[in-house]
Structure 1
Amino acid sequence: MKIALITDLHANREAFSAVLDHAESQHAGQYALLGDFVGYGGDPAWVVNRVRQMVADGAIAVMGNHDSAVLEGPLPSMRDDARAAVLWTRAQLNAEQLAFLAALPMSQTQEDRLYVHANAYDPRAWEYIQGRLEAMRSLHATECRYTFCGHMHEPMLYHLSGTGKAGDFKPVPGMSIPLLPNRQWLAIPGSCGQPRDGNPAACYALFDTVSHELCFQRVPYDHDGAAARIRAAGLPERLAQRLLTGD
């Protein structure tokens, strides 16, 4: 079975729709949605409703820091653009949509796979996996062979051998990577709704539970349409521009 790993949707209807269409074309049989469904983008209600329906149909979903901020208020560390988007977003969601976000778990485990937004060692602190050190700390915090997380908006893959040797590399889109059974793995698919690696195409990844192969994907989408929604909402222009440049 292929699991589509999608994270950091950030209220980007156009990107999420394109990724779902692509995943369907690749015969994805399950979906794991790794948080940050809202924030930054201009269509939070549509995205939350789509995620709710997918969860009702069997998808996995976990809470992200922007989802939490919409419920509890912006974090002190949030930049002005993010803070403005959080405050605007809360006013766009109804009671049922907010209740859905509030009920999201911090992490979920399925067989030998851990799904979490930020990291495995302290999910509620929202610390970033910015390099090998944080990745190894996360892998040491779980017995799962595979950890899939978001939060960082750039695709990345880390591994830890049984002897404690660590490694990392930036994946090439479209290339299947065999995840060897004698290692632990931590994969960051990259952001669906707001990529930040200089490539504006939406990110996600596919994990094959039979072959144990992981394939990172990039999907073009209607950036102009998504940017127009941000501008129509009166959100900061920088949030619209980022979609066009992927920075």
Structure 2
Amino acid sequence: MLLSSRRAFSVMTLAALAGLGAAAHAQEVLRVAASPVPHAEILEFVRPQLKAQGVDLQVRVFNDYVQPNLAVSDKQLDANFFQNRPYLESFNKDRKTDIVEVPNSDVHIEPFGAYSQKIRKASELREGAVVAIPSDPSNSGRALSLLAREGLIKLKDPSNIKSTARDIVSNPKKLVIRELESAQLPRALPDVDLALINTNYALEAKLDPGKDALFIESGQKSPYANFIASRKDNASSPAVTKLVAALHTPEVRKFIQDKYKGAVIPAF
């Protein structure tokens, strides 16, 4: 009887120790929404580092700019990585959401470019040419600013990054501005004369911004850095803090530089 009691005690002790070991290795789950390229690729690069720090990074890929914010706002996901400040400000205002930028979380800049399958340089644009730009307010203003920089149009206030088509004061070639959802712009290339495309969608469409863009933004002093966004209740959580730190390493900087070769520029 005594041996049975000892044996039972040993089994219970081993089970308890096993439970403690499992608890010690438990991973905190961090669910992050991201665009496929480059955001999800960068997140996958830091996944092993986070795992070693006790964070199970789960990346959910989205192909649009609306659902990643809604999923965070509705607490389906913890954070997202796909957007810049002008877009987030516009989204919160339009959707009555309260997504916040995680402090000091800028990761990279994606210079915005103009692409065409019909011409080789901007000066070849015909009168009445159709130019496709993103339909969301922040990116449409960005596209118009780039057109103005190239001298194709003039804007009422060139410094206003939220300009709309109504702010065009001069359009010498009578360009027809067509607004489309950002994700549709690469597919629209055969049907328009020029399309201004976000770099993440250009890369997904196998366009090389360095070679294929007729003209492109400078990456210097850009207000369009992409960062980690979250809700106020978890923007400073330990897991999110570890994610930001993991994204701000020399290894990530080198990964961005080597993989994207100037199409994506580190912002830290």
Q: Highest relative contact order (Cα 8 Å, sep 6+), 1 or 2?
A: 2
Which of 1 and 2 has greater Rg? Answer: 2
* Structure with greater helix percent: 2
TM-based fold match above 0.5: no
TM-score by length of 2: 0.27
